Amino acid sequence: MLPSPHPALAEASTPESGQALEALLRLRQLRMHFQPIVAADGREVFAYEALARAAAGCSLRSPMAMFEAARQHRRLAELDGLCRELALEQWAEQGLSERLFLNVSPEVLLDSAHSRGLTRHLLHRHGLHPHQVVIELTEQTPGLDPALMREAVCHYQSMGFAIALDDLGEGYASLKLWSAVQPDFVKIDRHFISGIHQDSLKRRFVRSIIDIAHGSGSQVIAEGIEQEGEMECVSQLGAEYLQGWLFASAEVDPAGQRAGLEQRLHRLSRRRHAAPLALGAGSLLRQVAPVLQDTCLEEVAERLHAEPELMALAVVDAQQRPVGMIIRHRLLGLLNQRFGPELHGRRAIHEVMQTHSLRVEEDEPLERLSAKLLGRRDIHRDEDFIIMRGGCYRGLGRPLDLLRILAERQLAVRAQCP
């Protein structure tokens, strides 16, 4: 069976979409919203991103459907130009001094219908300057020639515009475009930011992106910040700027909302610097499904064979309370003995599990967790530990991840010392 198309794409491909697009362009049925981008310390606003939204009554309800309809009807450059015109017009009305990020589809830069010099003309009309604008390449389209993209981007950079690359991490195409364009800013997709303070794999991935960005001269903007823990984590990893609902949603009138935004930033900064967020054991959480205590060894072994990356599994009772741990090499070693499957395969897992596994609550401070690990016998120090909430199983943690975070903290403290 073929997968169902994305609802927004289906909406854009209906016969009525061309008529709706025609009305939208002719009547200028767009309203721009502006979302702030703040400095990583949370103390000041660095820029705003302009986001196009269709006016009430337009059948192309979502931005994705709107731009997909324009692409299908070969009017993408026209829609892009209208968005740019309205964004600069409405931004000039706000009277704010921060930089403005303008979204541009990369294929538009190479489209023969694209009006050359439009952006500079609009800036001149509204009394703005190129250094106030960042061209943000978004909705990357597979198959674009990197050399041609680089040529188009160089044209903008030569006029004084900075370049940002959006949704970094979405795929190989974005990495190729990054290499070709060498942008001033890279924006890390919200998928990799959501819950990053509780996901060690996401932290490693984002750290790698930030290291590459800094090595190539780009600054990093982390999108989708919704929790203070995410803000703290990506700031520690080295992102320069943050964007997300934790600070503000996109507003039609950012100037009118500015006082409230600055108050919110002040509260966040005061909480962060007066009482820094203490990372607990939950920041090491790996969501690994447990096994019930009555599960047979044979079934657990099948799962371990199917998931070779698992070094351990938690054993829980019917109420999801941890009762022990199964260590991979010990269980498989037992079954690999002569007549092991016949002797042990049907036994319940609780009969052979390790009952002295380390268990901690997710708000356990990392320093206290470290002390507990050091207090264990050498043979058990490198084993995974169980993380709980209110005594119920949440996931597993790795000592190696704990050591990495503690080492990063020490380096950060040393870097702040004169």
User: Using CA atoms, how far apart are residues 323 and 371, in angstroms rounded to an integer?
Assistant: 22
Last residue of a domain, one of 274, 294, 322: 274
Q: Is residue 211 in a domain?
A: yes
Q: Is residue 15 in a domain?
A: no
| One domain, residues 128 and 253 | yes
| One domain, residues 73 and 161 | yes
CATH classification at residue 382 = 3.10.580.10
Query: For residue 224, what pLDDT is reported?
Result: 94
Query: For residue 412, what pLDDT is reported?
Result: 61
3 state SS of 184 = coil
| One domain, residues 167 and 49 | yes
| One domain, residues 176 and 236 | yes
Q: Is residue 416 in a domain?
A: no
Phi, psi torsion values for 37, nearest 5 degrees: -115, 125
State which residues of the chain have pLDDT below 70. Answer: 1-15, 57, 112-115, 139-144, 167-175, 272-278, 378-379, 411-418
Average pLDDT, the chain: 83
| One domain, residues 327 and 267 | no
Q: Is residue 221 in a domain?
A: yes
Query: For residue 278, what pLDDT is reported?
Result: 59
Query: For residue 274, what pLDDT is reported?
Result: 54
Q: Is residue 264 in a domain?
A: yes
| One domain, residues 164 and 38 | yes
The pLDDT tens digits for 363-374 are 888 888 888 888
258: its two tokens = 């500015």
User: Using CA atoms, how far apart are residues 219 and 183, in angstroms rounded to an integer?
Assistant: 9
| One domain, residues 334 and 363 | yes
Last residue of a domain, one of 241, 257, 274: 274
| One domain, residues 354 and 260 | no
| One domain, residues 374 and 355 | yes
Q: Is residue 390 in a domain?
A: yes
| One domain, residues 147 and 295 | no
Last residue of a domain, one of 274, 291, 308: 274
| One domain, residues 33 and 160 | yes
Q: By residue range, what is the domain housing residue 330?
A: 282-407
- Is 95:255 a contact under the CB 8 Å cutoff? yes
User: Using CA atoms, how far apart are residues 338 and 138, in angstroms rounded to an integer?
Assistant: 60
| One domain, residues 246 and 289 | no
Phi, psi torsion values for 251, nearest 5 degrees: -120, 145
User: Using CA atoms, how far apart are residues 216 and 184, in angstroms rounded to an integer?
Assistant: 9
Domain count within the chain:
2
CATH classification at residue 90 = 3.20.20.450
**Short-list 239, 249, 246, 228, CA closest to 188:** 239
